[in-house]
Structure 1
Amino acid sequence: MAHILIIDDDEILAGLFQDYLEGEKFTVVTVHTGEEGLQLALNGRFDMVILDVMLPDMSGNDILKQLRQQSNVPVLMFTAKGDDVDRILGLEAGADDYVPKPCTPRELIARIKAILRRTESTYSQGSDHCIEIGPLQLWPQQRKAHWHQQSLELTSTEFNLIETLARQAGQVVSKNTLSEKALGRPLARFDRSIDVHISSIRHKLGQREDGHDWIQTVRGQGYQLIK
């Protein structure tokens, strides 16, 4: 039974979503201010945080940035429908995915289940052998990553992405496959989520000695992790 934190100042909508989630056997806590939500999110009791971009006391993106300094708990952002700027800023700040408002409870639950499913069971079959590609080491069951023998801090979605690329290192992986593996949903038209997450991973990995990125873009096809 997953524990979900909703941070949203729309009390009616948040209450509706809480009722639906509890009907799906989730344990839900709802708060309506950013400050209270941040403190609860940092206590580590939640399996996922649902965070509205627009809050009365703090920006959702500012909350997310502070949260990411101490926690990699999956975060699903509420963004204004059609507002690409909010979506990209949220993803760059470390959100795992977003859902536009207004949305249906069914869509919200589908997104939550997809993220939790990828977080809890990504490639969890069998023993937790280490995947090693150059300076990268991954332990899928532990969801632990090392880069040049140092701990590599990744969000849940970033871990799913780099694991998928590592398992097919040297091969091109399509954006749709990455979306299915990392987000648990098909890639939507004009959706830049994968691009933003890949950009974040590239920043954390740095560049190769030859000045190129470890994750290469293959135009019109997808991405490739260099062996």
Structure 2
Amino acid sequence: MHSVLLVEDDESIRAALRSALTERQFSVVAVATAAEGLRETAAGPVDIVLLDLGLPDLDGAAALRMIRGISSVPVIVVTARRGETSIVQLLEAGADDYVVKPFSADHLVARMRALLRRTNTTAAAEEQRVVAAGGLHIDLLQRSASFHGQHLALTRREFDLLVYLAERPNRVVTRRELCDQVWAASEKASDQTIDVHLSWLRRKLGETAANPRYLHTVRGVGVKLVVTT
């Protein structure tokens, strides 16, 4: 069940929307002022905000900017403003979508569900850009890695090699596979080159080939990154 924060000062509209959204299996918190909306947003968590612009204590556009200062929660602006310039300004201020009054509950809910699908897809994609294996935490977007909370100073090739192994924990990866997938086609690596990079990685992980903890060589086959639970 998705949670909705409804910020609407008109009591009759607020009650009607709360009822319609509850009937459609949303969990709704409804408030009448921008201050209450900001407080609820900060308290979180909330999946989506419906923000009316005509609030008694603060202009909705200003409230939107303040929400964006504390949260990336999806926001649908509810507005009576039909001008293109006003809509563009709202989107640039941080709104994810908008609906123009008057509107039906079905129309609003369709827009909400579409936005939630996009948001959930993006979140899942972002989550997949982080690789965690044992004490390793690798952020693919930032191209950074840490080991038990300590930053690892890795070269570009060391990082690529570590990522490839960490994405395949406890699986033996052949040197041929590392050569094809980690090194560019124009600079094929020799076994010695791969071994040197593995040695550098081991040193930075505080281990040696003779006493490995994570990077285990399988003689005659390749190497695997061992992760124990």
TM-score computed with the length of structure 2 as normaliser? 0.54
In 2, distance between residues paired with 1:58 and 1:84? 22
2:121 maps to which residue?
Answer: 121
Give the structure with the higher percent helix: 2
For 1:107, the aligned partner's letter is H
In 2, distance between residues paired with 1:26 and 1:55? 23
Considering Cα pairs closer than 8 Å and 6+ residues apart, tell me whether 1 or 2 has the greater RCO.
1
Larger of the two Rg values belongs to structure: 2
Q: Deviations over 1:121-142 (max 9, x none)?
A: 34948x8247xxxxxxx97xxx
The CA deviation at 1:120 is 1.1
- Structure 1 vs Structure 2: percent identity of aligned residues? 38
In 2, distance between residues paired with 1:36 and 1:107? 26
User: Are the aligned partners of 1:81 and 1:102 in contact in 2 as well (CA < 8 Å)?
Assistant: no
Give the length in aligned residue pairs: 135
CA RMSD of aligned residues (A): 2.4
Q: Deviations over 1:13-40 (max 9, x none)?
A: 1211111111111100111111111111
The CA deviation at 1:83 is 3.0
2:35 maps to which residue?
Answer: 35
Q: Mark the runs of 5 or more structure 2 residues left unpaired by the alignment.
A: 131-138, 145-229
Q: What SS does the aligned partner of 1:73 have?
A: coil
In 2, distance between residues paired with 1:123 and 1:77? 21
User: Are the aligned partners of 1:77 and 1:95 in contact in 2 as well (CA < 8 Å)?
Assistant: yes
Show structure 1 runs of 4+ deviating over 6 A: none
Q: Mark the runs of 5 or more structure 1 residues left unpaired by the alignment.
A: 131-137, 140-144, 150-227
TM-score computed with the length of structure 1 as normaliser? 0.54
1:103 maps to which residue?
Answer: 103
1:26 maps to which residue?
Answer: 26
Distance 1:29 1:123, change over 3 A: closer
2:87 maps to which residue?
Answer: 87
Q: What SS does the aligned partner of 2:66 have?
A: helix
In 2, distance between residues paired with 1:51 and 1:123? 22
